């Protein structure tokens, strides 16, 4: 059996949670500071009429993020098509070119990673 790609992550900072052995309540935060920040954020959100999982993001940031995701999705489809065509025609698939294409499309998304405050 293969390992799952997505491991549990901290509900505040997004860091991977340490492996949890045995029974008991599932861990949600990586440390007490994250638990406290999440609590403060929930209270602040509620005071503005937002649900616990709702965020405020500027329209510009959202549109930029969607644009980069669209670009990455298009690059993935192109790469899949190219690799499939190479396989069908008996050519050696150019994985290096495929990787560079995907990498170039994914790099702009790096700027969207925001380290949560208070960790």
**Per-residue DSSP letter, 114:** -
Least distance between Zn ion and beta carbon 117 (Å): 12
Rounded to whole angstroms, what are the CA distances from 40 to 33, 47, 69, 117? Answer: 11, 11, 30, 11
Q: Which of 3, 5, 8, 13 binds Zn ion (CB under 5 A)?
A: 13
User: Residue 31 and residue 10: Cα distance in Å, rounded?
Assistant: 8
Least distance between Zn ion and beta carbon 53 (Å): 17
38 contributes a contact to Zn ion by CB under 5 A: no
Nearer to Zn ion, 20 or 85 (CB): 20
Segment near Zn ion (CB under 5 A); pick from 25-33, 40-48, 72-80, 89-97 = 25-33
Q: What's the gap between Cα 47 and its chain centre? A: 28
30 contributes a contact to Zn ion by CB under 5 A: yes
């Amino acid at each position: 059996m293969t390992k799952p790609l997505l491991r549990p992550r901290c509900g505040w900072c997004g860091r991977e949670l340490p492996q949890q052995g045995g029974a008991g309540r599932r861990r949600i935060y990586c440390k007490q500071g994250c638990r406290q920040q999440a609590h403060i954020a929930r209270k602040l959100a509620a005071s503005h009429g937002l649900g616990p999982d709702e965020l405020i993001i500027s329209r510009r940031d959202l549109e930029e993020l969607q644009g980069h995701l669209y670009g990455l999705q298009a690059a993935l489809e192109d790469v899949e098509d190219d690799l499939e065509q190479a396989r069908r025609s008996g050519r050696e698939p150019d994985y290096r070119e495929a990787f560079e294409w995907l990498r170039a499309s994914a790099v702009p998304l790096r700027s969207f990673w925001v380290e949560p405050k208070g960790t």
